[in-house]
A and B are shown apart, each in its own frame.
Chain A
Amino acid sequence: MADALAPGQASGRDRARTRWTLLLPRVRRHKGLLIGLGIVLFLLLVALFQNTLAPQNPIQINILYALQGPGPAHWMGTDQYGRDVYSRVVHGSRISLSVGAISVGIAATAGTAVGLVAGYYGGPLDNLLMRIIDVLLAFPGILLALGIVSLLGPSLHNLMIAVGTAGIPLYARLVRGCVLVAREQLYVEAARAIGVPVRMILARHILPNVVAPIIVAATLGMGTAILSAASLSFIGLGSQPPTPEWGRMLSEGRDYLRGAWWISTFPGLAIMLTVLGVNLLGDGLRDVLDPRLRI
């Protein structure tokens, strides 16, 4: 008896298995997705094992070794304070990935909640929430983030809040659109008819239907979030010295461009590789999960 599964559980597991069986060949065939996945996994491993891969202290100043070119002792050279650029780039991976993930987490969570409520309830509440979203959309993303940072003050923590808030409208609009379709489905009507509470309908019947577009938007949004965060740090409104954040490192190296190109080049390549990986993964997931959206 103990081994027996309830009918609902068994069919749910089977459904998930069937979905994966269908998706896996598509994932395997998609070269871009595999390359993107490879880059993102590589960056995650670098971020996880940063102390093993780069044992030198990324904020340790050593003026005697300032502005040394790439060589055996310092693979990516040293900056104007003698800090090892390779160590700073490796340690920066955790910061950039965290900033991207947390910003997207804030945007996706808040945006999904707004979209679910607005789409499901409709009426005046939907109208009010969507007008607020319209106002947020009236600000170009970077400007909204800039405005929020100006209020809260420049720091890595505030940067994530700013970039996250700027991303909310995208998810709210996306989820609301999906919910408007899902709430009219027969199974949602059936759940309502047998008295399932609204919270349960939203969480168990509607949310699973909007997860795929949210995953695609979140993956693609992560690239944008990393770029926005690096941009704000670059102009001095994000992470503060001596944090090894890639945007900040680029900014610090720009005065030494003529003689020490490596200070700006490697963090720039790191940002590009990260965003490229995330974009390839996002494009691939979109093609696999929702081919209708393919450009």
Chain B
Amino acid sequence: MIQYLSGRLLATIPVVFGVTLAVFSMLFLIPGDPVKMMLSEFQTTPQQIARMRAQLHLDEPFVAQYGRFVWNALHGNLGTSIRDHRPVAQEILEVFPDTVELAVAALAVAATLGIGLGVLASLRQNTWVDVGSMMVALLGVSMPSFWLALVLVFVFSLRLGLFPASGGGGLSHLVLPAFALGLGAAAIIARLTRSSMLDVLRMEYMNTARAKGLDDRTVVLRHGLHNALIPIVTVFGLQFGNLLAGTVIIETVFGRPGVGQLVVSAILNKDFPLVQGVVLFIAVGYVLVNLLVDVVYAIVDPRVRYG
């Protein structure tokens, strides 16, 4: 296990460095002068442009700049926002809990609905329950999250007045965004759960469990779902990463504070240090979540670490 873990950890290091190089290079891929582009909406003098260039160390060689970027990032310094003149890391950390809260709530929605629908469909294979559940799942995959968000706001906020339409705060502010974000992932989990359950339900040990006289509930939940969940664990992790990224859209729709809304406003404001910081933060987070998924998978299914 330790050998597997250390191998997996070592493989992550070059990827993280690759991510830092890609994010750092963003500034050099901007067509034209990045400083002029960033300050295009301000009245600036050549001295101010030169000062900004020096502040961003753009007058140094590429390697020196990259080295400084990585060194600073390793020390938690992601630069300073051009608009607010505040440390980027501080801006991210202020809103990050809100984003995690939304992603976790969306994952809870996805897991509950997805596993529920998937198990139901597999137990009633080829009946209208199965077809209906999978149709719902297909619609869930095809529905744009931002449109679902607007539909939820229209019905549950504007018409029924049950939940607030926008803003952050308590649990009531979390319900609609979590559903809007989680439904797509629920659809994917439902399809996978159904297929995984159908495989498991055909296994000999299911017959053995029934032959022992166990009731249906125990057979399905303890012997069926317990084994069927192994491949689903991986999808949970991958979906959590996608949900973190999906908050970019949902936070904007609901006007919720969060990393997603921060990056969108940074792009619209051409605040590149902030864009770089947020993109680096989310990408490294995504890599770490994937690493965690692999570790959990290796714990749940020993074949992975000996494979």
A residues lining the B interface (CB < 8 Å): 131-132, 134-136, 138-143, 146-147, 149-152, 223, 227, 230-231, 234-237, 247, 250-251, 254, 257-258, 261, 264, 268, 271-272, 275-276, 279-280, 294-295
Can you list 5 A-B contacts with CB-CB less than 8 angstroms, sorted by A residue number?
A: A135-B18, A150-B275, A250-B150, A251-B146, A276-B138
Identify 5 new A-B residue pairs, CB closer than 8 A, beyond the known A151-B31, A272-B143: A146-B248, A150-B26, A230-B144, A230-B146, A275-B141
Report B117 CB to chain A, min CB distance, Å. 14
The answer to the question of B147 belonging to the interface, with a C-beta cut-off of 8 Å to chain A, is: yes
Contact check, A139 vs B249: say whether CB atoms are below 8 A apart: no
Closest 3 CB pairs of A and B: A140-B245, A135-B18, A268-B147
Contact check, B286 vs A140: say whether CB atoms are below 8 A apart: yes
Report B278 CB to chain A, min CB distance, Å. 9
Question: Chain A residues near B279 (CB, 8 Å)?
Answer: 139, 143, 146-147
Cα–Cα distance between A275 and B139 once the two chains are bound (Å): 9
**Given A131-B14, A132-B18, A151-B26, A141-B245 contact (CB < 8 Å):** yes
Contact check, A139 vs B19: say whether CB atoms are below 8 A apart: yes
Cα–Cα distance between A138 and B288 once the two chains are bound (Å): 10
Question: Chain B residues near A257 (CB, 8 Å)?
Answer: 150, 153-154, 158
Closest to A277 in B: B142
Question: Chain B residues near A230 (CB, 8 Å)?
Answer: 144, 146
Question: Chain A residues near B31 (CB, 8 Å)?
Answer: 151-152
Question: Chain B residues near A275 (CB, 8 Å)?
Answer: 141-144
Question: Chain B residues near A143 (CB, 8 Å)?
Answer: 245, 248, 279, 282-283, 286
Contact check, A227 vs B144: say whether CB atoms are below 8 A apart: yes
**Given A139-B283, A142-B246, A235-B158 contact (CB < 8 Å):** no
Q: Which of B30, B147, B264 has the most CB of A within 10 A?
A: B147
Contact of B15 among A138, A149, A152, A261 (CB under 8 A): A138
Contact check, B22 vs A135: say whether CB atoms are below 8 A apart: yes
Q: Which of A132, A147, A258 has the most CB of B within 10 A?
A: A147
Contact check, A258 vs B158: say whether CB atoms are below 8 A apart: yes
Per-residue 0/1 for B142-173: is the Cβ within 8 Å of any A Cβ (1 yes, 0 no)?
11111100110110001000000000000000
Contact check, A236 vs B142: say whether CB atoms are below 8 A apart: no
Contact of B150 among A139, A236, A254 (CB under 8 A): A254
The answer to the question of B268 belonging to the interface, with a C-beta cut-off of 8 Å to chain A, is: yes
Contact of A237 among B139, B144, B264 (CB under 8 A): B264
Per-residue 0/1 for B120-149: is the Cβ within 8 Å of any A Cβ (1 yes, 0 no)?
000000000000000000110111111100
The answer to the question of B119 belonging to the interface, with a C-beta cut-off of 8 Å to chain A, is: no
Per-residue 0/1 for B51-89: is the Cβ within 8 Å of any A Cβ (1 yes, 0 no)?
000000000000000000000000000000000000000
Contact check, B144 vs A271: say whether CB atoms are below 8 A apart: yes
Contact check, B286 vs A150: say whether CB atoms are below 8 A apart: no
Contact check, B18 vs A147: say whether CB atoms are below 8 A apart: no
Closest to B21 in A: A135
Per-residue 0/1 for B274-291: is the Cβ within 8 Å of any A Cβ (1 yes, 0 no)?
010001001100110000
Question: Chain B residues near A223 (CB, 8 Å)?
Answer: 141-142
Which label, helix, strand, loop or mixed, suits the secondary structure of the A interface? helix
List B residues 7-35 near A (Cβ within 8 Å): 14-16, 18-19, 21-23, 26, 29-31
Contact check, A151 vs B282: say whether CB atoms are below 8 A apart: no
**Given A131-B18, A235-B249, A295-B147 contact (CB < 8 Å):** no
The answer to the question of B241 belonging to the interface, with a C-beta cut-off of 8 Å to chain A, is: yes
**Given A150-B275, A280-B138, A234-B146 contact (CB < 8 Å):** yes
Contact check, B267 vs A268: say whether CB atoms are below 8 A apart: no
Contact of B263 among A135, A141, A146, A294 (CB under 8 A): A146
Question: Chain A residues near B248 (CB, 8 Å)?
Answer: 142-143, 146, 235
Question: Chain A residues near B195 (CB, 8 Å)?
Answer: 294-295
Closest to B238 in A: A140
Cα–Cα distance between A160 and B107 once the two chains are bound (Å): 29
Contact of A138 among B19, B30, B249 (CB under 8 A): B19
Question: Chain B residues near A272 (CB, 8 Å)?
Answer: 139, 142-144, 147
The answer to the question of B242 belonging to the interface, with a C-beta cut-off of 8 Å to chain A, is: yes
Contact check, B249 vs A268: say whether CB atoms are below 8 A apart: no
Contact check, A135 vs B19: say whether CB atoms are below 8 A apart: yes
Question: Chain B residues near A139 (CB, 8 Å)?
Answer: 19, 22, 279, 282-283, 286
Cα–Cα distance between A146 and B251 once the two chains are bound (Å): 15
Report B22 CB to chain A, min CB distance, Å. 6
Question: Chain A residues near B153 (CB, 8 Å)?
Answer: 257
Cα–Cα distance between A102 and B153 once the two chains are bound (Å): 33
Closest to B134 in A: A32
Report A247 CB to chain B, min CB distance, Å. 8
Report A103 CB to chain B, min CB distance, Å. 16
The answer to the question of B192 belonging to the interface, with a C-beta cut-off of 8 Å to chain A, is: yes
Contact of A279 among B141, B158, B246 (CB under 8 A): B141
Contact check, A231 vs B145: say whether CB atoms are below 8 A apart: yes
List B residues 208-262 near A (Cβ within 8 Å): 241-242, 244-246, 248-249, 252-253
Contact check, B150 vs A134: say whether CB atoms are below 8 A apart: no
